[in-house]
Every structure is written in structure tokens, then in C-alpha cells.
Structure 1
């Protein structure tokens, strides 16, 4: 089964990195759902919740104030202005 490689970063640090089955992010044009094989994408984020369904089956969520998401070849990079504490953090994080 194909997976996404996800990097969630704030302006000052890497917040979370790992393999995922699915990512959901609040873009200014509406909620974006990203699965393996998604077409290349660059979208501006609005305030809301970023959700990552990890390859291990847990959910990682964080409230963000804005930023952008980039998708290319199953690599998802989410760069946020500000981020709240993550929920669902798992020990296998890099």
C-alpha cells in the first residue's frame, strides 16, 4: 500500500515528520484531502485543523493559523505560521 511522507513544520522548527495514509488541511478554497498518488498541489492554508492519519493508524491533529501545503510525488510539506500542541503524538516520530 502506498504511503505519504509528511513533514509538518513551523517557522522555527520541525513539528512532526513521518509516514501517513491520509492528510487533511484547511485551504482557503476549502478542506483539502490528500491520499497517496495525489496530483501536485500548492495551496494556501487558512486557520483550522490539520489532520494526519499515520501509517500506524493513529491520528495526529494540530490547530494552525495559516501557511501553505505542498504535495509532490507522495511528499506532503505543510508549513504553518503558528501551531498549537499536537494531539495523538506517537513514539515513532523522526
Structure 2
């Protein structure tokens, strides 16, 4: 089992999701980024439009369509601050 870390996904309007995750994947202006527990601190700008994927336990993966914002990795976990964020539909999932 992978180590878990805390993830916060926040849009301008409200907190969208918060919990423990095994991994976070996002497309930034520098390219696709994958974050696991113990990742080095970083700050990246999300590509617009893009998708944030959160891998939670038991093989489940949450997908959200985002349009702009930032991703921050610290010792406390990952925070995604998106300008807009909506759950991805099954048809839109990649």
C-alpha cells in the first residue's frame, strides 16, 4: 500500500474535496505532474483547461475538470487552488 498524504482541492467558490490520497496528477504549464507522498516542495501553475486526478485508496480515482489556478506541494501535503472546478463526467475522462 502506498503512503497517504493530505490533499485539498479548492475552487474560488468553495472547498471541493479534502482527504487522504495515494497520488495526485495534474497538467501544469510545465507539463504533466504526478505527486506521491514525500514529493519535494513545489509550486506550479495549472494548465487551462486541464484535469486534476486524485488517486484515493482501493483503486478509486477522482477526476475534476479545472480551468486555471495553482498547485502547491509542501511537507503538509498538496493544495490545488483552481479558478473553476467541476467533477469530470465519465465521457470526458481520459
1:84 and 2:86 matched: yes
Contact 1:21 1:53 in 2 (8 A): yes
Partner of 1:17: 18
Aligned length: 88
**RMSD over equivalenced CA pairs, Å:** 1.6
The runs of 5 or more residues in structure 2 that have no matched partner are none
Runs of 4 or more, structure 1, over 2 Å off, are: 85-88
Query: When the two structures are superposed, what TM-score results if normalisation uses the length of structure 1?
Result: 0.85
Partner of 1:27: 28
Contact 1:52 1:60 in 2 (8 A): yes
Query: When the two structures are superposed, what TM-score results if normalisation uses the length of structure 2?
Result: 0.85
How far apart, in 2, do the equivalents of 1:13 and 1:54 lie?
21
